[in-house]
Structure 1
Amino acid sequence: MITDKLYALKFPIGEFKTPEIITSNQIETWIEDIERFPEEVENTTKKLSQEELNWVYRPNGWNIKQVVHHCADSHMNSIIRFKLALTEDSPTIRPYFEDRWAMLVDNNDNDLSSTLLLLKGLHAKLGKLLRSIKESELSSEFIHPEYGKRFRLDETIGVYAWHGNHHLAHIKQALKYKGKFI
């Protein structure tokens, strides 16, 4: 069982909860969060030293650079999931091993410049796609085999807005605690 302190370190903004009713205003706010995310990450990380990039946000958690690289990996997968759901009938998406990806050489690079460029372009493209989704398409869904459940696009927009905010909070948390939690 996760202690309260560890839970707060793992989920500094809480876990995502799907609203009972997802309004167009809520979707607009989520899309704005998604579009703003790369700039916020860049502003938070651009002056960090190599030592700071290696600070973790919680015990046994990823370091700052792994979090930034992970967001690019995750959000690349997200745009593919949206496109699959918009062009196929309830497709089954392919999950991936985030923890294994975090150990690859590109996710341990101290130079975040390529990843930040990727996030900027990816989020601009994702924002454009999300803004084009018609109300009737928001109920389109994909199947996530890892969870054995269907995800609607309106909910998924919220999940990815939360995901960015969640990891931005992790970065800020690592900086606040200077990678130490004792």
Structure 2
Amino acid sequence: MKENLSYPIGPFVPPENISSAQIAVWIQEIEELPAKFHSAVSDLSAEQLNTPYRPEGWTVRQVIHHLPDSHIGSYCRFHWALTEDNPTIKAYDEKAWANLSYQNNVPIESSLGMLDHIHARWVVLLKNLSDGDLEKTYVHPEDGKSYILREVVGMYAWHGNHHLAHVVNLKKRMNW
């Protein structure tokens, strides 16, 4: 079976019923992601960091910088949903952000550190959500859909694992 380079762990498909046990698993995955990412990229050279994980895909460096950008956004979305009634959140063009040229000059340690710190705060927030909090929602302006926080926890656990798989699988394919 051919590896899917775009979606190496498949697309996110939430379970029909999301239990407290499932939420706990997802929170643990979010908590563990920074250490796993550090481990996956710590031995890479500049040339390897500048290698796309797939043809027409982002470089490893872009993936590293993308994660804190995206997860800071999600952290803020949780706050908006918890403090406002079904707010419309701000979307961003992640591809445009990934292509900002200054990021080629940002040490990956900066983004890895941001990932460490945002996840440390985010995990405390997530572990303190009540069942009622998990039912709160926000609206994404691009599709007009309301997203329930219970499901969003899973989306971002998946998101981190999705990008980790991009890097880990590239290293395997390249024998790094």
The alignment's TM-score, normalised by the length of structure 2, stands at 0.95
Deviations, residues 43-94 of structure 1 (Å, cap 9, x unaligned) = 1101110011011111100010100100010001000000000000000001
- Per the alignment, residue 136 of structure 2 pairs with 140
Q: Structure 1 residue 106: deviation in Å?
A: 4.2
Three-state SS of the structure 2 residue aligned to 1:12 is coil
Contact between 1:65 and 1:110, CA under 8 Å: does it hold in 2?
no
- Per the alignment, residue 17 of structure 2 pairs with 21
Could you say what the CA RMSD is over the residues aligned between the two structures, in angstroms?
Answer: 1.6
Three-state SS of the structure 2 residue aligned to 1:162 is helix
Aligned residue pair count: 175
Runs of 4+ in 1 over 3 A off after TM superposition: none
Q: Structure 1 residue 5: deviation in Å?
A: 5.0
In structure 2, do the counterparts of structure 1 residues 71 and 106 end up closer, same or farther at CA, with 3 Å as the change threshold?
A: farther
What percentage of residue pairs aligned between the two structures are identical?
45
Three-state SS of the structure 2 residue aligned to 1:10 is coil
Q: Structure 1 residue 127: deviation in Å?
A: 0.1
Q: Structure 1 residue 178: deviation in Å?
A: 2.8
Contact between 1:79 and 1:126, CA under 8 Å: does it hold in 2?
yes
Moved more, 109-118 or 151-160: 109-118
- Per the alignment, residue 40 of structure 2 pairs with 44
Three-state SS of the structure 1 residue aligned to 2:5 is helix
In structure 2, do the counterparts of structure 1 residues 109 and 168 end up closer, same or farther at CA, with 3 Å as the change threshold?
A: farther
Q: Structure 1 residue 9: deviation in Å?
A: 0.7
Correspondence list, 1:25-174, <5 A: 25-109=21-105, 111-174=107-170
- Write the distance in 2 (CA, Å) between the matches of 1:29 and 1:109: 35
Gaps spanning 5+ residues in structure 1: where? Answer: none
